[in-house]
């Protein structure tokens, strides 16, 4: 589940980064959340399944 959240947030960040510079601060917050979720997933040691 965390992996899915990471992918969704990362895609939203990429779309926002390319298309909407007005929401720059919010997009970077989404990126930060996505990275934190990925780190939690890696620390837990679970297998990453797409």
Q: Is residue 50 part of a domain?
A: no
Q: Is residue 49 part of a domain?
A: no
Query: Other C-beta atoms within 10 Å of 20: how many?
Result: 11
SS3 47: coil
Q: Is residue 29 part of a domain?
A: yes
pLDDT digits (tens, 9 = 90+) for 1-50: 777 888 888 787 777 767 666 666 776 777 788 888 888 888 887 665 65
Q: Is residue 14 part of a domain?
A: yes
Whole domain around residue 26: which residue ranges? Answer: 2-44
Give the C-alpha separation, 42 to 22, whole Å.
Answer: 32
- Using a cut of 0.75, tell me whether the model's pTM lies above it: no
Nearest in space to 6 (alpha carbons), one of 14, 18, 16: 14
47, with CB counted inside 10 A (0-12, 13-18, 19+), is exposed
The answer to whether the beta carbons of residues 19 and 47 sit under 8 Å apart is: no
Instruction: Report the number of distinct structural domains present in the chain.
Output: 1
């Amino acid at each position: 589940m965390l992996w899915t959240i990471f992918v969704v947030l990362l895609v939203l960040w990429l779309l926002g980064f390319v298309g909407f510079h007005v929401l720059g601060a919010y997009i970077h917050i989404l990126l930060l959340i996505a990275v934190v979720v990925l780190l939690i997933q890696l620390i837990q040691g679970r297998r990453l399944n797409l």
